Structure formats: structure tokens, C-alpha cells
A and B are shown apart, each in its own frame.
Chain A
Amino acid sequence: AQRVTQPEKLLSVFKGAPVELKCNYSYSGSPELFWYVQYSRQRLQLLLRHISRESIKGFTADLNKGETSFHLKKPFAQEEDSAMYYCALNQGGSEKLVFGKGTKLTVNP
């Protein structure tokens, strides 16, 4: 069965420091991976998807099939990056998303 693991419930960094939110998945096929972000009192929104290979708000994520990982990185964290981050997997051919438990990122001034 497909599964998404985010090992860190909480992550706290200082402004300007690099940040990496970990995500590992288990799926035997060709998954599509996403990162969603939820800012305080706002709805869940798509941050980026692996097939786009784009950088959004300075965040990047590379799909590593060998390590079955899709870690989210940003070289210099900003206070406005503080939010809940969810890694999600979409099994090929399906529209359903499987979410990790989320990591709460706090960027301190």
C-alpha cells in the first residue's frame, strides 16, 4: 500500500538558515509527489509538484527514486515560511492523494 512518511512533526529554524523538510514514500509504481502548505488560518494549497521541477517561494524538492524521498528544501528560511507542510503522493493513473502527517515549520526571527 502507498504510504507517505514525514518523520518530523515539528521543525524550528532561525531566519536565514537552510531548511529541509523530509518526506519518504512507499509505492511500487510511478508516483507523483506533491508538497502542500497550510498557513495559519488558511486552506491547504499546492506548493509544488515534482513533475514541474519548479521552484516556488524559494522552495525546491527533488524526487529521489532510489531513496524513495521527496525532501523539501529552502536555502534561506523566512519568517513567512512558518506553516504546516504536507507531503502527498498520487499513484499513477489515479486522482487520489495520500498525505503524510505533516511537519510544522517555525522560522524564528
Chain B
Amino acid sequence: GAVVSQHPSRVICKSGTSVKIECRSLDFQATTMFWYRQFPKQSLMLMATSNEGSKATYEQGVEKDKFLINHASLTLSTLTVTSAHPEDSSFYICSANTGGDQETQYFGPGTRLLVL
């Protein structure tokens, strides 16, 4: 099946710094990628839809200036958590859509962010 990678898998940063997370579709092109956030023992919450070549679409309650998304190519989307604070600590997961008749979302392994 299709593979989606995320980098880094884990990051620890100081409060006030910015962190960039990369999401790549390794063997397919994805015009649409998604960014989710998952709190401990809770479900995935969609943060935003990342569209190649256009602005991301953010879900209600998600600050677009806080979580910057760039979908620069058909295989790469980045999420930058700007001026991170301890409450931003979470598990961030991306997914990419294969498109086509049997459209399927493939998920990355996730990135654990800890803001001190």
C-alpha cells in the first residue's frame, strides 16, 4: 500500500520556539493532505486540510496563524507550530489522499511534540 512518512517522529522544544513537521507521500502524489491532532486517550481531531498550490482550509477553532501549513508539492506538506507553548504538546498526525475511484487516506506515523 501507499506510504506516508512524517519527520521528525519526536521533538522537544522550548516554549516560544517554532517547530516544523514534514509529511511526505513516498510513492504517490497527493493533492490533498490532512493534519490531525490527537490528545492522550482521545480521538483524532482534524485541524486542517492542506491543498497543493493553495491555502489550507482550517477547521473551526484552529488558529491559522498558530499552525502554518504549506503544501509546496504533490508529495510534501509541512505544519509549523509557531511560538509553541506547553498546551501545544500533542501527537500530530498527517494523512494523504490517493485520489481515484478507490480513494483512500493513508496515515503517517505521527509526530510527538513536547513543549517545555
Contact = CB atoms under 8 A, between A and B. Distances in A.
A98 B46 contact: yes
Contacts of A46: 104-106
Contact of B43 (A43, A45, A102): A102
Contacts, number: 41
B87 interface: no
B90 to A, nearest CB: 15
B36 to A, nearest CB: 8
Nearest to A45: B107
A97 B108 contact: no
A95 interface: yes
Contact of A100 (B43, B46, B49, B103): B43
Contact of B32 (A45, A95, A98): A95
B44 A43 contact: no
Contact of B44 (A42, A45, A86, A95): A86
B97 interface: yes
Given A43-B108, A43-B110, A45-B107, A96 B34 contact: yes
A25 interface: no
A17 interface: no
Contact of B107 (A43, A95, A96): A43
Interface in A50-95: 86, 95
A99 B107 CA distance: 13
A101 interface: yes
Q: Which of A42, A43, A46 has the most CB of B within 10 A?
A: A43
8 contacts: A43-B110, A44-B93, A44-B107, A46-B105, A86-B44, A95-B97, A98-B46, A99-B43
